[in-house]
Chains A and B, each alone.
Chain A
Amino acid sequence: MNDSWENLIAGVKNRDIRAAARLITRVENRAPGWKEAMSRIYSRTGSARVIGITGSPGAGKSTLTCAMTKELISRGLTVGIIAIDPSSPFSGGALLGDRLRMKEIFETPGVFIRSMATRGMLGGLCQAARDVVRILDLFGKDIILVETVGVGQDEIEVVKTADLVMVVCMPGQGDGIQAIKAGVMEIADLYVVNKADMPGVDEAVADILAMLELSTETGKPSAPVLKTSALKNQGVKEVVTAFLDHRTDEDRRQAKAEIRAREEILSLLAQEVSGYILKQWENENRFCESVNQVLKKQKDPYAIVKEMTQRFNWS
């Protein structure tokens, strides 16, 4: 298989699964030429609807994702899934286990599942996830579900890039709902209380409604709260209908799109600039040296950064 960027992109357009998988790997690895490749496909993307799914660990996000996918497929839609799990900060490795709950759709035609590790890139996860969304979009997926654990700012940023954000809770969480509300509260378009076959479901719904009442943001329609039992396939149809029917009013959509475009340019720029400087630094072998100087208290980090940026006449 000829792995040139051109061939891979052509393959994705022809709905070649292997080409899509490989293009994702290349872009995720930031192989030389990735930005040019993304630039080439950008104009052909934007037609897929992107749903961000977040919530605390164990709430049933993957099981729900699987159940929703089956429902979407039965409605004649194609689905791409990006399932994000954390990388270990110690080894850099990751255990990506979301597929454990999605076995039923491994071979379903029209479904493409990709597991993704956070890889500990500063702000990089967000961009990498956006890139994978675009590749799946080019691949022709109607709906793209981005699933991530609702802990850590980076991951919340990821779901924020979606057209619609779904927060999954479960009964008996109590303070768990409190814990995820920071940062998530403002971005949820839809709440789902999963495991509704367990006791305490009505209390969980009441908790969320009470929390929503406290929201002071004006002009935002309050997010619906739905109940599901993903394992028993109950309430899943209603959730799918809710997000397919969900329409953001035009002003809000525009505002969101503007913020997104702004954030994306800034994040690409920040990565580019810091990457460029760091590369020069490493070429001169100075990064390690600087770290040592800080450790030995010979220099401070402020002075080092100033020194490094001075040559660009910035400061």
Chain B
Amino acid sequence: MNQGGKIRVLVAKPGLDGHERGAQVVAYGLRDAGFEVIYTGLRQTAEQIVSTAIQEDVDVVGLSILSGAHLSLTRKVMDGLKAQGADDILVIVGGIIPDPDIQKLKDMGVGEVFVSGTPVSAIAQYIASAVSTRKNAG
């Protein structure tokens, strides 16, 4: 990591579900873990998320999804990042994700899936180590 560089994380809620609490808790928790968190709130389209991730040059995109549409929404974001040549950005997913879908998300290229009940500290730890591994590799 560059001297003085901060890990930048976009926390976004794609799709139509209106339950923002979880995303907010994660956003605040990640700030307290020392990350710079860009929070864009509810009802984001995949296109909005991709364009924000690129302009803000984030290291990580965190998607919070409780609507049940996690497979299609995540697919759209992954495809969008890829189309922009930005698939080096780490994507993680949180929310209500049934067990069988976790592997499906990872097969799409999602780095990790955090189901409800995960402490924010675990997410922060994962991000810190995954980003430093990626930066060293790159």
The answer to whether residues A93 and B37 also contact, given A21-B55, A24-B57, A103-B44 and a CB cut-off of 8 A, is yes
Contacts of A112 in B (CB 8 A): 55
Contact yes or no, A31 B2, CB < 8 A: yes
Q: Is B34 interfacial (CB 8 A cutoff)?
A: yes
8 A Cβ contacts from A200-246 to B: none
Closest beta carbon of chain B to A290's beta carbon, Å: 22
Contacts of A24 in B (CB 8 A): 57
Q: Is B41 interfacial (CB 8 A cutoff)?
A: yes
Q: How far is the CA of A115 from the CA of B35 in the complex (A)?
A: 13
The answer to whether residues A30 and B54 also contact, given A94-B37, A100-B40, A115-B38 and a CB cut-off of 8 A, is no
Q: How far is the CA of A21 from the CA of B50 in the complex (A)?
A: 13
Contacts of B86 in A (CB 8 A): 18
Contact yes or no, B52 A106, CB < 8 A: yes
The contact string, 1 if C-beta is below 8 Å from chain A, for chain B 25-44, is 00110111111111111001
Contact yes or no, A92 B34, CB < 8 A: yes
Contact yes or no, A93 B33, CB < 8 A: yes
Q: Is B72 interfacial (CB 8 A cutoff)?
A: no
Q: Is A95 interfacial (CB 8 A cutoff)?
A: yes
How many chain B residues touch the partner (CB < 8 A)? 32
* A-binding segment of B3-11, B63-71, B110-118: B3-11
The answer to whether residues A92 and B56 also contact, given A99-B38, A100-B40, A117-B36 and a CB cut-off of 8 A, is no
Contacts of A1 in B (CB 8 A): 85
> Which partner residue on chain A sits nearest B41 by CB separation?
A100
Q: Is A256 interfacial (CB 8 A cutoff)?
A: no
Q: Is B51 interfacial (CB 8 A cutoff)?
A: yes
List of 4 A-B pairs having minimum Cβ-Cβ separation, nearest first:
A21-B57, A29-B5, A93-B31, A29-B2
Which residue numbers of A lie inside 8 Å of B, CB to CB?
Answer: 1, 17-18, 21-22, 24-26, 29-32, 87-88, 90-97, 99-100, 103, 106-107, 112-115, 117, 119
Contacts of A93 in B (CB 8 A): 6, 30-37
* Other-chain residue from B4, B5, B6, B39 in contact with A95 (beta carbon distance below 8 A): B39
Q: Is B48 interfacial (CB 8 A cutoff)?
A: yes
* Other-chain residue from A17, A22, A90, A103 in contact with B48 (beta carbon distance below 8 A): A103
Q: How far is the CA of A1 from the CA of B47 in the complex (A)?
A: 22
Contact yes or no, B6 A119, CB < 8 A: yes
Q: Is B84 interfacial (CB 8 A cutoff)?
A: yes
Q: How far is the CA of A167 from the CA of B94 in the complex (A)?
A: 39
* Other-chain residue from B2, B31, B56, B84 in contact with A88 (beta carbon distance below 8 A): B31
* Other-chain residue from A31, A92, A100 in contact with B3 (beta carbon distance below 8 A): A31
Q: List 25 A-B contacts (CB under 8 A).
A: A1-B85, A18-B54, A18-B85, A21-B54, A21-B56, A29-B3, A30-B2, A31-B2, A31-B5, A87-B36, A91-B33, A93-B31, A93-B32, A93-B34, A94-B37, A95-B28, A96-B39, A99-B40, A99-B52, A103-B41, A106-B47, A113-B56, A114-B55, A114-B56, A119-B6
Closest beta carbon of chain B to A32's beta carbon, Å: 8
Contacts of A97 in B (CB 8 A): 39
The answer to whether residues A91 and B34 also contact, given A21-B56, A103-B48 and a CB cut-off of 8 A, is yes
The answer to whether residues A17 and B34 also contact, given A95-B39, A107-B47 and a CB cut-off of 8 A, is no
> Which partner residue on chain B sits nearest A81 by CB separation?
B55
Closest beta carbon of chain A to B135's beta carbon, Å: 11
| Seed contacts A93-B36, A103-B40, A117-B36; 13 additional CB < 8 Å A-B pairs | A17-B55, A24-B57, A25-B8, A30-B4, A31-B2, A32-B3, A91-B33, A92-B6, A95-B31, A97-B39, A99-B52, A100-B40, A113-B55
